[in-house]
């Protein structure tokens, strides 16, 4: 099989605790047919760098650049809200794009604005809203809403978010036949005195992550349609960091200009070696 050119410089970044490996791949280093395997190997915690996902930054004829995004399990996904903020700051700091930029994803063109260690993302248009589907898992009935905010999301409002069995319920809902064949990310949203908390079981990480940007957008838009919130909506994620969603247009499913704002932190720079890939 074609070889991988090593060592490979990378940045390790964190968007509210959702962490990523980002590589400037404008000169090809990893053969296309080995990208998924490469992503799975470098995203392993303890055995390699460890991350929720991998971004490869590539040239684009339609925007400032294009990304290839892989979840930790090697599955390629269309969009990632926290990753978009990290990639935007990476591109800006590498001189690949100006502070205001446009980049190509499998979900469409995403616009971003970087400001120091934060970034604001203009999300792709949300679609496929579904409301009030009663789904039984684990002997419990849940009222499930869903929307695609670049990737598919289920949203469930709960009374006590700390009581949710994230792995047990999250896994069953993520694989539920209702969401076949692509599956879904699963978000539990709790309403607190002064706002919202959200916990996400992420497709492709197959676990709860510290934050999920597209999940926060899903939770905020559905809360608005249900009349629980107005723009701007702040949601505190599992890692304790709040992400903010702004949207314009009539309250409801035909919003436009959906903006996600939050941190994009550079944790460290490194070099991937052959030992990063030892299976």
Q: Which residues are annotated as a binding site for substrate?
A: 18, 71, 81-82, 185, 202-203, 213-214
Is the CB of 54 or the CB of 77 nearer to ligand API? 77
Of 80, 75, 119, give the one whose Cα is nearest residue 99: 119
H or E element that contains 245:
strand 242-248
Residues in the chain: 279
Annotation marks residue 80 as catalytic: yes
- Of the pair 49, 212, the CB lying nearest ligand API is at 212
Active-site residue, selected from the candidate residues 29, 79, 212, 229 = 212
Q: Which two tokens stand for residue 78?
A: 């269309």
Residue 46 phi, psi dihedral angles, 5° rounding: 75, -40
The catalytic residue among 13, 30, 42, 80 is 80
- Measured from the CB of residue 84, what is the shortest distance to ligand API in angstroms? 8
Can you say which residues are annotated as belonging to the binding site? Answer: 18, 71, 81-82, 185, 202-203, 213-214
Nearer to ligand API by C-beta: 20 or 157? 20
Q: Please, are residues 55 and 92 in contact by the beta-carbon 8 Å criterion?
A: no
Closest to ligand API by CB, 75 vs 253, is: 75
In the bound complex, what is the minimum distance in angstroms from residue 205's beta carbon to ligand API?
6
Smallest gap from Cβ 212 to ligand API, in A, equals 4
Q: Which residues bind ligand API (CB under 6 A)?
A: 18, 71, 77, 80-83, 151, 185, 202-205, 212-214
Query: Which positions ≥6 away from 264 have C-beta within 8 Å?
Result: 13, 14, 15, 85, 86, 88, 89, 114, 117, 118, 119
Pairing of strands 195-202, 233-236: parallel
> How far apart, in Å, are the Cα atoms of 112 and each of 82, 104, 119?
12, 11, 7
DSSP 8-class letter at 126: P
For 78, list phi and psi in degrees, rounded to 5: -75, -40
At its nearest, how many Å lie between ligand API and the CB of residue 73?
9
Active site residue 212: yes
As annotated, the active-site residues are: 80, 212
């Amino acid at each position: 099989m074609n070889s991988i050119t090593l060592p490979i410089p990378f940045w390790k970044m964190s968007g509210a605790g959702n962490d990523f490996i980002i590589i400037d791949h404008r000169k090809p280093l990893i053969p296309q047919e080995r990208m998924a395997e490469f992503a799975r190997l470098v995203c392993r915690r303890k055995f390699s760098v460890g991350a929720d996902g991998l971004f490869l930054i590539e040239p684009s004829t339609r925007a400032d650049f294009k990304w290839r995004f892989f979840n930790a399990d090697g599955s390629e996904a269309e969009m990632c809200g926290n990753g978009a903020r990290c990639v935007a700051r990476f591109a800006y700091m590498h001189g690949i794009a100006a502070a205001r930029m446009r980049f190509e994803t499998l979900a469409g063109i995403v616009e971003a604005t970087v400001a120091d260690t934060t970034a604001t993302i203009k999300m792709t248009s949300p679609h496929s809203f579904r409301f009030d589907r009663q789904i039984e898992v684990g002997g419990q009935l849940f009222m499930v809403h869903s929307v695609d905010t670049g990737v598919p999301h289920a949203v469930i409002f709960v009374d006590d978010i700390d009581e949710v069995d994230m792995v047990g319920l999250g896994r069953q809902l993520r694989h539920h036949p209702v969401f076949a064949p692509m599956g879904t990310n699963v978000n539990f949203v709790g309403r607190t005195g002064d706002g919202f908390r959200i916990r996400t079981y992420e497709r492709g990480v197959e676990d709860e992550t510290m934050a999920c940007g597209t999940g926060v957008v899903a939770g905020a838009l559905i809360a608005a349609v249900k009349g629980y919130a107005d723009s701007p909506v702040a949601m505190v994620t599992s890692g304790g960091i709040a992400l903010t969603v702004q949207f314009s247009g009539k309250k409801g499913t035909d919003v436009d200009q959906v903006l996600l704002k939050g941190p994009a932190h550079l944790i460290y720079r490194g070099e991937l070696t052959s030992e990063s890939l030892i299976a």
